[in-house]
Amino acid sequence: MSNLSKSTVKSATQFARAVSWMGHPLVFVTVSVGIVVVSRLARRDALSILLVLFVSVILPTALLLFGGVRSGHWSDADISVRTERKRVYPMTILLLAIGIVALWSLRASNFVLRGTLVTFALFILAAIANFWIKLSLHALFAFYCSVILFRINPLFGGVAFALATTLFWSRLHLQRHDLAEMLTGTLLGLGGGMVAAWWP
């Protein structure tokens, strides 16, 4: 391989890693939730919902992921090893359940509650699927959020879809998933997004 080819491959890999980090489910979902809540709710209600979600779900999940990496329980923040995900899914599902109860107690809007319930269901489906396949959570939540954002604002949705598509390529380029794992995550995300954003 020529030096030019090596340089091109290295640049592509660095770009793929950057996209992968930007499209990490925790990042993609957090930003998307912020956009949705601020766009759909009054400022006071939006701040309350964001605070509850941050304290009950987002922050504990971040601590779970990065604390697990530092302690050596997980190989990386993506939880790329399928066997490691068996321990992560139950804890994440529990955190989401706590978040749902907290939102319900705040009498959050049906749109917000439905989105949280669909997210909860997607994690359960991913946990079940994990017995056979390590589906891409990056793809799942990138396309899931993209569909919802498109309902909120076509411009936001278009940008999110572009990032989700690039993310799809990056995960394949980095060999974190095979095509079947990426497609499974993508289809679940698209289906979940349709239910969360467009179901009557």
For the record, the structure tokens of 130 come out as: 């994990």
Give residue 160's pLDDT.
96
Give residue 2's pLDDT.
60
Give residue 156's pLDDT.
95
Q: Packing angle between helix 82-105 and helix 110-129, nearest 10 degrees? A: 160
Q: pLDDT averaged over consecutive 10-residue blocks of the chain (200 residues)?
A: 66 90 91 90 85 90 87 80 87 93 88 92 95 95 96 94 96 94 97 89
Question: What are the backbone angles phi and psi of residue 169, rounded to the nearest 5°?
Answer: -65, -45
Q: What pTM was estimated for this model as a whole?
A: 0.91
CA separation for the pair 200, 194 (Å, rounded): 10
CA separation for the pair 121, 108 (Å, rounded): 18
Give residue 157's pLDDT.
95
Query: What residues contact residue 77 under an 8 Å CB cut-off, 6+ apart?
Result: 24, 65, 66, 69
